[in-house]
Amino acid sequence: MALPLPPGLTHAEVSFLAEMELVTVVPRQRLESIDLLGGKTPALRPPHRADLPLWLALLLKKQRRANIVPPRWLHPSSLAEIIHRETKETPLAFSEPPPAPARADTANPGYAHRQGGQQHQRQQEQEQDGPIMSAPFRPSCTADAPAGYLPYHWLEVAEALLAHAGDDVASLAASSLGEVRGLLRDLVEVRAAKMRSSTAQLEGFGGGLMLLRGVGAMELAESRGFVLGVVDGVRKIGASAEAARREMEEERGGEEGESDEEMGL
Amino acid sequence: MSYYDIDSILTESELDIPDLGYLDNTPTQPLKTGAKVNLPLWLAEMLVIANTGDVEGKSFVTFDLPPALGNDVIQALKADPRAVPLRDQSPHFYGLGTHMMELSEEQELAAVLRKTFVTRASEVALHARKVGGVGHRGKGAEEGSNLGIGGAGEEFLRGLDEWERKLFRKAHDGAKSGKEWMEGVKKH
């Protein structure tokens, strides 16, 4: 027991990683480009929007030097749509992660080497070659992120924005902060219930798969221990049957095995 | 874990064995053929596994499933996995079950255990989330319904076997640290 922590990232680590997500800010003051490890941040010229990492945006927000533009999926209408989809349309699956073509929706000079720094139409993006960005490198929390899709770090970013830039969220959504907060709570509960019931997918033999597509980082951190425990338990229960099945297969496939070995030689 | 499990298997001796009479509470007599004795799982398991080396190809012991995995329990589990307090059957219900399956290869038992475990797991997670007041502020109506679970919930939680207790702890830890983080965000 060298490491007292359970496997996987803790909540604090996940929310730390989430601070790398890009968010859109409207600066109130000029700020020259900062040379960060992840690349240069764009120079801030009010009133032009710019994409900054979440931690920097929150810092500027606290110093009243910028306002944060919340991502579109945080609007009450988008959240309500997602909740509707999760409860009514696909009551078993988690809602889809943002579609891949959205990765280049925004130009981000700070990360130009990664993004190519150009605006693309969707059709062009699909043809565009180059590496497909995964969660932390995709501008999924900027103002241009598509509505109706939850990015990987949705809960962390949403909580951070609600806690520290609540007035921005409220003003842009043209609704009360409480409404967004309530919808988020509902969404968390709906998805937690779904996570619990998804263990039923493990019931049948051979169907030992839990589909966790579209589950956010924070939800993973929360349910990791439980899900791993369930899967491990199912594995132990099925172990003897599995061993018996293997033995049978080996007996039957003995000849084929030999020929394989010969080919290997 | 199951090494310490005193839950014994009913083992039936097929031979007269001298000096083992004390297993059947008759220290002066040899252990008779056909005598049924309760042995700890680890010992019975060894005997059953050692069976194959027998001279006449006839096993010198046969075993029955322990009452915790008896027909009554299995039927009850088939009907509703959530209604059976597994802990009353055996504190190491699943551990016992997996050991038995290694010895007897009962397909049905495996299927029932698997269904039981999976069905109860989601119930365990539900309680793990609700216990300790993870329910959020401003949701009076839901809090009320949680209280409704409370009474039946305690009974359910008492009936968890060791695997499920472990699972409960994991799920509860996850939910708890999630809640702590959620509150910590505001201070940050």
User: Residues of B with CB below 8 A from A6's CB?
Assistant: 170, 173
User: How does B42-76 read in b/e, with b if 16+ C-beta sit within 10 Å?
Assistant: eebbebbeebeeeeeeebbbebebbebbeeebbee
pLDDT of residue B146: 45
pLDDT in tens, A110-160: 444 333 333 333 334 444 445 556 555 667 777 777 777 888 888 888 888
| Lookup result for tokens 């109506």 | B141
Instruction: Specify the CATH number of the domain B67-188.
Output: 1.20.58.2050
CB A123 within 8 A of CB A4: no
In terms of residues, how long is chain A? 265
User: Residues of B with CB below 8 A from A192's CB?
Assistant: 129
Residue of A nearest to B129 (CA): A192
Cα gap A176→A154, rounded to integer Å: 20
Domain edges within chain A: 11-199
User: Residues of B with CB below 8 A from A185's CB?
Assistant: 136, 138-139
Closest Cβ opposite residue A237 in set B117, B177, B181: B117
Q: Do B136 and A234 touch (CB under 8 A)?
A: no
Residue of A nearest to B136 (CA): A185
Q: Is the dihedral of CA A82, A88, A94, A100 positive or negative?
A: negative
Please name every residue paired with A36 in a beta bridge, in sequence order, or none if there are none. Answer: A39
Across the range A61-84, mean pLDDT stands at 87
Helices A177-197, B107-130: axis angle to 10 degrees equals 160
pLDDT in tens, B4-55: 444 555 555 555 665 666 666 666 666 666 677 777 777 777 777 776 555 5
3-state secondary structure of A138: coil
pLDDT of residue A6: 72
| Lookup result for tokens 């520290």 | A164
Please name every residue paired with A69 in a beta bridge, in sequence order, or none if there are none. Answer: A24
Residues 6+ apart with CB under 8 A from A166: A177
A150 touches chain B (CB under 8 A): no
Using only the alpha carbons of chain B, give its radius of gyration.
Answer: 23
Best interface-test mutation with A: which of B118, B163, B172 has the largest number of A CBs within 10 A?
Answer: B118
Maximum CA extent, chain B: 76
Angle CA A40–A45–A48, to nearest 5 = 100
pLDDT of residue A132: 58
For the beta sheet containing A66-69, the strands, ordered from the edge strand earlier in sequence to the opposite edge, are A50-53, A22-27, A66-69
Q: How far is CA B175 from the centre of its chain?
A: 25
Q: How far is CA B61 from the centre of its chain?
A: 24
Q: Do B105 and A241 touch (CB under 8 A)?
A: yes
User: Residues of B with CB below 8 A from A180's CB?
Assistant: none
The two structure tokens encoding residue B104: 């007897």
The two structure tokens encoding residue B119: 């069905």
B1-64 CATH fold: Methane Monooxygenase Hydroxylase; Chain G, domain 1 (1.20.58)
AA letter at A114? R
**Same fold? B1-64, B67-188:** yes
3-state secondary structure of A15: helix
Q: What is the percent of chain A with per-residue pLDDT over 70, rounded to a whole number?
A: 75
Residues 6+ apart with CB under 8 A from A151: A21, A71, A73, A97, A98, A135, A138, A140, A141, A145, A157, A216
pLDDT confidence tier of residue B89, bands split at 50, 70 and 90: confident
Determine how many CB atoms are found less than 10 A away from the CB of residue A130.
10
CB A25 within 8 A of CB A60: yes
pLDDT of residue B12: 57
AA letter at A221? A
CB B61 within 8 A of CB B11: yes
B8: part of which helix (H) or strand (E)? strand B8-13
CB A220 within 8 A of CB A212: yes
3-state secondary structure of A155: helix
Q: Do B181 and A196 touch (CB under 8 A)?
A: no
Phi, psi of A66 (to 5 degrees): -160, 155
pLDDT in tens, B154-175: 777 788 888 888 888 888 888 8
Q: What is the DSSP letter of A151?
A: -
Domain edges within chain B: 1-64, 67-188
pLDDT of residue B14: 55
Cα gap A72→A101, rounded to integer Å: 16
pLDDT confidence tier of residue A71, bands split at 50, 70 and 90: confident
pLDDT of residue B75: 86
